[in-house]
Amino acid sequence: MRKEAELRAIAQGLNVTSDEDRVGDAAKRSIALAVAEFLQEVQLTKDPKTYRGYDVALSYFRESCPKVHLESIDRKDLLKFTAFLKKEKKQSPRSVHNKFACSQTFLAANGLPKLVSRTDRPKFVKQEVEIYEHGELESLLKVCSRYHLTLDKFLLMTGLREQEAMYCVRNDVNLVSRAE
């Protein structure tokens, strides 16, 4: 009777745990708790942008994986995660690759063995950076708001990258010698 009830529950799409699973549950780690602890550590040690990337990737992973315990994650869950990112979240190949890499870092930080081979990892084609010609740049700057015009000119004239510009303060710029 117990087995019939278990099979009915599975047929209805419910997650069923056996008696053996319940006995070992105390020793198993919750995915939700492991994600929370991992994100807390990332928030303390990494840049806010890095934290946001991990937060999104791991929330997508949890959304795609119905399992409760870390130890129950297997190769198929990671392959399903890749498919979920492509089909459900409409992510670009580069974004799928990056979010997959975040999930791998999370699993490795929690002591799980490598579950996928190189051939299982999502692929993407590196694209050449588009370079704007002088006329294209002038056209772009003409339609910018005052804020974006100032920002774009600052980036162009200094050669700073996004994060370097975010943390740049007046003392970082020497207007007399025009050197940093």
Q: What is the CATH number of the domain that holds 49?
A: 1.10.150
User: How is 92-132 classified by DSSP, letter by letter?
Assistant: -HHHHHHHHHHHHHHHHHTTPPP-S-GGGS---PPPPPP--
Number of domains in the chain: 2
Task: Tell me what pLDDT residue 15 has.
Answer: 67
Task: Tell me what pLDDT residue 164 has.
Answer: 87
The answer on 70 and 38 residing in a single domain is: yes
The answer on 111 and 57 residing in a single domain is: yes
143-178 in b/e burial notation, b at 16+ Cβ within 10 A? eeeeeeeeeeeeeeeeebeeeeeeeeeeeeeeeeee
The answer as to whether 15 is a domain residue is no
Tens-level pLDDT at each residue, the chain (180 residues): 677 677 767 776 666 665 555 545 556 899 999 999 999 999 999 999 999 999 999 999 999 999 999 999 999 999 999 999 999 999 999 999 999 999 999 999 999 989 999 999 999 888 887 888 889 999 999 999 999 999 899 888 888 888 888 888 888 877 777 554
Spatial separation of the C-alpha atoms in residues 57 and 51, rounded to whole Å: 10
Task: Name the amino acid, one letter, at 41.
Answer: E
Task: Tell me what pLDDT residue 178 has.
Answer: 56
The answer as to whether 61 is a domain residue is yes
Task: Tell me what pLDDT residue 115 has.
Answer: 94
The answer on 110 and 33 residing in a single domain is: yes
The answer on 149 and 114 residing in a single domain is: no
The answer on 165 and 97 residing in a single domain is: no
Task: Tell me what pLDDT residue 131 has.
Answer: 86
The answer on 142 and 107 residing in a single domain is: no
The answer on 83 and 40 residing in a single domain is: yes
The answer as to whether 10 is a domain residue is no
The answer as to whether 152 is a domain residue is yes
8 Å CB contact between 39 and 58 = yes
Spatial separation of the C-alpha atoms in residues 133 and 73, rounded to whole Å: 49
The boundaries of the domain holding residue 34 are: 29-120
Task: Tell me what pLDDT residue 136 has.
Answer: 92
Task: Tell me what pLDDT residue 128 has.
Answer: 82
